[in-house]
Each structure stands twice: as structure tokens, then as C-alpha cells.
Amino acid sequence: MKKLSSLIMATLLFAACENKEAKTTDTVVAADSTKYPYTIKQVQNWEMNPDTKNAVTAMTLIKTFESLDTASMSKVLADSVALDLDGYKFKGTKTQLMKELQGEFDKMKGFKIDMQDMESVVNKDKSEEWVSLWYNQVSTTKEGKTDTVALFNDIKLKNGKVVRLSEYVQHPMKK
């Protein structure tokens, strides 16, 4: 028993005194040799955006839509904006968009948003910043008609303002 205890103590002492080499955090990235079926003209090298401001701005845009609040919506939009929605395209000034949206909002009783997920990315040279949002939306018209859709939004931001919104809609299957 004495020999076993001495052996364990010697092993522990040796392990504690071992001189370990400092590990470097630099890693070599191997060139991608994958044979893709398509050639990408310009690789953006996207990375997660650690700054939460863009995600807050994008979600604020959707929140103002949910509450039919064009005044607050105007605060998060750039002076020029583009929208590609389900069956609707717009490219123009913020003022023009607010007029169009107010006309549409006047037909609505309300919206209910159930946010599912989000991702905020920026490309490596910091020239483009996007936030992607996944959510379900229930809309109700003033006549009482409701519609439920699953939405995916890609929102491009520049200087902290929304400059583009691309929306992709999944309508539920008819029974």
C-alpha cells in the first residue's frame, strides 16, 4: 500500500511539474478544395455580428409593423429604402413608403408577431450588414378576416438604419 501511495504521489508530482509548451491561438486555414456545382463570383466571408444594435433595429422595425406605428417605423428606416414583399415591391424615399404603408395599415385591425429566431451577420470587410428574422404572423383586417403566415426576413442595414427588407412568405397548406 505504501508503494502504491508513493507511486501515485510521484506521478502527481511529475504531472504538476511538467513544462507544457505554450499553445498558440493562430490556426492555419486550409484552402477549400471542395468541388461545388456552382462558382461563386464574390465570396463575402460572413461572420456573426457581435454588436447587437442591428438585431435590435431589425426587430424594432417588425415591432413597429406589428403595432401599425409608422411614426416609430420612420425612425429606423434610412432616407431611401427598398422592400421586396409577398407580391409587393417598393423602392423610393422613406416618406413615400410611409404614405403607402399608412394606407395599408388603415385597412388592418392588427398584427400579432411570434418571433422564432434571428441571426445578425456582417461580411469580413464590414461593407455589408444583414439581420435575418424568422417569425409567424397573424394578421386581422378591420372586416375580421385573419391570415397566418410563416415569414423569413432579410434586412440590410447601413449606418444603423434599414435600407432594404426582403420578405419570404410560407402560406399554410389548404386543407
Q: How far is Cα 98 from Cα 20, in angstroms, rounded to an integer?
A: 64
Confirm whether 4 is domain-assigned: no
pLDDT band at 4 (very low <50, low <70, confident <90, very high): very low
Distances (CA, A) of 50 to 47, 128, 129, 154: 9, 14, 12, 18
pLDDT of residue 17: 53
- Per the CB < 8 A criterion, the answer to whether 118 and 54 are in contact is no
**Structural domain for 153, as ranges:** 46-170
Domain total in the chain? 1
pLDDT tens per residue across span 49-91:
999 999 999 999 999 999 999 999 999 999 999 999 988 899 9
Grid cell at residue 86? 409577398
Residue whose grid cell is 411570434:
114
pLDDT at residue number 18: 53
Specify the 3-state DSSP secondary structure of 120.
Answer: strand
pLDDT of residue 27: 55
Residue 57 lies in a domain: yes
pLDDT digits (tens, 9 = 90+) for 5-57: 444 554 444 455 555 554 555 555 567 788 889 988 887 789 999 999 999 99
pLDDT of residue 30: 65
Q: Assess if residue 8 is contained within a domain.
A: no
Indicate whether 39 belongs to any domain: no
Q: What is the pLDDT of residue 76?
A: 98
| Residue 33 resides in a domain | no
Would residue 37 count as lying in a domain?
no
Q: Report how far residue 30's alpha carbon sits from residue 14's, in angstroms, rounded to the nearest whole number.
A: 37
Domain annotation covers residue 30: no
DSSP 36-55: -SS--SS---EEE----HHH
* Residue 22 belongs to a domain: no
- Least confident residue range of 92-96, 114-118, 122-126, 163-167: 122-126
* CATH code assigned at 92: 3.10.450.50
- Residue pLDDT, tens place only, 101-140: 999 999 999 999 999 999 999 998 889 999 999 999 999 9
Model-level pTM?
0.77
Report how far apart, in Å, the C-alpha atoms of 42 and of each of 39, 46, 123, 129 are. Answer: 9, 12, 11, 16
Beta bridge partners of 165: 83, 155
